[in-house]
Chain A
Amino acid sequence: MKFTKILIHGFWKDLPPFRLVLGLCPALAVTNSAENGMGMGLAATFVLVFSNMLISALRKVIPDKVRIASYIVVIATLVVLVEMIMKSYFFALSQQLGIFIPLIVVNCIILGRAEAFASRNPIYLSFADGLSVGLGYTLSLTLVGTIREILGAGSWFGLNIMGHNFEPFTFMVKAPGAFICLGILLGIMNFWSRRRGEIFIQT
């Protein structure tokens, strides 16, 4: 039962970057299209799942004094692996995401889950935690990317869906649009949560 609970907590209760307010930088920077958002989310999920499992496996071996350094080595290795895999099999996407793939190393979600969960829980639970938080992040990024792409470019995953008479709100695919979109989504989610009577940590 605990396994199931952990498997779903990343999809609402601890949804990044809205509930678990981490990983905002890529959420703003690479969501100018749905495909980029999903690609970044999946890359981060891959790193998160494996880093959680590895750090959980090593949690009794790594001395407390060097734990952050060790976590970062593990995470950085995984990110370089992801970068190589992307350049080999998804070159066009890796060019689009550009410098943000290496920046997954400093994505707070990964170090955050390693420190808060993987370092004190068994491997199978850490796997579930990584998978659920990672997939939740992917969903969020794809959602923001979808909204920004449809409004800002009239397409979805590259397919033109708004027709040829649609005049796109170009600012939506630039920086201001990212902030506005994220803010409005966060506001809607908070309103919905309050109506359902959910308790917030920050009151």
Chain B
Amino acid sequence: MREIIKLVVVLTLICGISVGTLEIARANLAGRIEKQNDRYIRGPALSRLFAKPADELLENKINLNLDGQKYPVFFMRENGKITGLAVEATGKGGYGGDIQIMIGIDLLTGKIKGMEIIQHSETPGVGAQVEKENFRSQWINLPLTKNIALKQDNGKIQGITGATYSSRAVVDGTNRILKLVTQHRDEIINEIQAKAN
């Protein structure tokens, strides 16, 4: 009996101290990791969507708080008018967890400029193929007003073979963003104007 107690106590202590250390490390490093993410992932993604150098675009950011969720929104301004948005949201139901995507929106034409994957935990070679150019290019010039779906769900998007969950999660994230933009468009523009001035 004593032996079992010792086993339990030692394991519990080791696990407890390990978790505590990791939590302290995470709290201290999360800010830095976010900045690195911006520099190496969001920056290039924004550049690809808007064909402009990343440094300008990264600064134009607001954080939308709706229904308890946080949505980072990047905006592009030309001659004082807001011409484009890049909205980030989480697509649920990925194979390895949620997938963070970013949709570039052209406010002048009302169409999608492109889709970028910001963060995922999908299987390399299978679900991770959602990052590929030929999958993401299906998003270019889609209208903002219609929800999208995979071909097997009566939609138009060709999913990745063998990676249905991952493809569906990206579609889910896109539809969330479309809903957000169509329903709260004025709110978003107002918040951006407030920040920009």
Contact = CB atoms under 8 A, between A and B. Distances in A.
Interface in B105-162: 124
A61 B10 contact: yes
A62 B6 CA distance: 9
B10 A70 contact: yes
B57 to A, nearest CB: 19
A93 to B, nearest CB: 11
Contact of B40 (A61, A95, A99): A95
Given A84-B29, A87-B33, A88-B33, A66 B7 contact: yes
A91 B36 contact: yes
Interface in A55-94: 58, 61-63, 65-66, 69-70, 73-74, 76-77, 80-81, 84-85, 87-89, 91-92
Given A61-B10, A70-B10, A85-B29, A77 B40 contact: no
Nearest to B6: A63
Contacts of B6: 63
B9 to A, nearest CB: 10
Contacts of B36: 87-88, 91
Interface string B3-19: 10011001100110010
A63 B10 contact: yes
Interface residues of A, number: 24
A15 B47 CA distance: 46
A65 B33 CA distance: 38
Given A84-B33, A92-B40, A69 B25 contact: no
A129 B166 CA distance: 44
A60 to B, nearest CB: 11
Chain B contact residues, majority secondary structure: helix
B195 interface: no
Contact of A73 (B15, B32, B37, B40): B15
B39 A84 contact: no
Contacts of A80: 22
A62 B22 contact: no
B10 A84 contact: no
A88 B40 CA distance: 12
B175 to A, nearest CB: 29
A124 to B, nearest CB: 22
Interface string A152-170: 0000000000000000000
Contact of B3 (A63, A85, A91): A63
A81 B25 contact: yes
Nearest to B19: A77
B179 interface: no
Contacts of B32: 88-89
Contacts of A91: 36-37, 39-40
Contacts of A95: 40
Interface string A127-167: 00000000000000000000000000000000000000000
A70 B14 contact: yes
Contacts of A87: 29, 33, 36
B121 to A, nearest CB: 10
Contacts of A99: 124
A44 B25 CA distance: 19
B184 interface: no
A78 to B, nearest CB: 9
Nearest to A85: B29
Interface of B: 3, 6-7, 10-11, 14-15, 18, 21-22, 25-26, 29, 32-33, 36-37, 39-40, 124
8 contacts: A63-B3, A69-B11, A73-B18, A77-B21, A80-B22, A81-B25, A89-B32, A95-B40
Interface of A: 58, 61-63, 65-66, 69-70, 73-74, 76-77, 80-81, 84-85, 87-89, 91-92, 95, 98-99
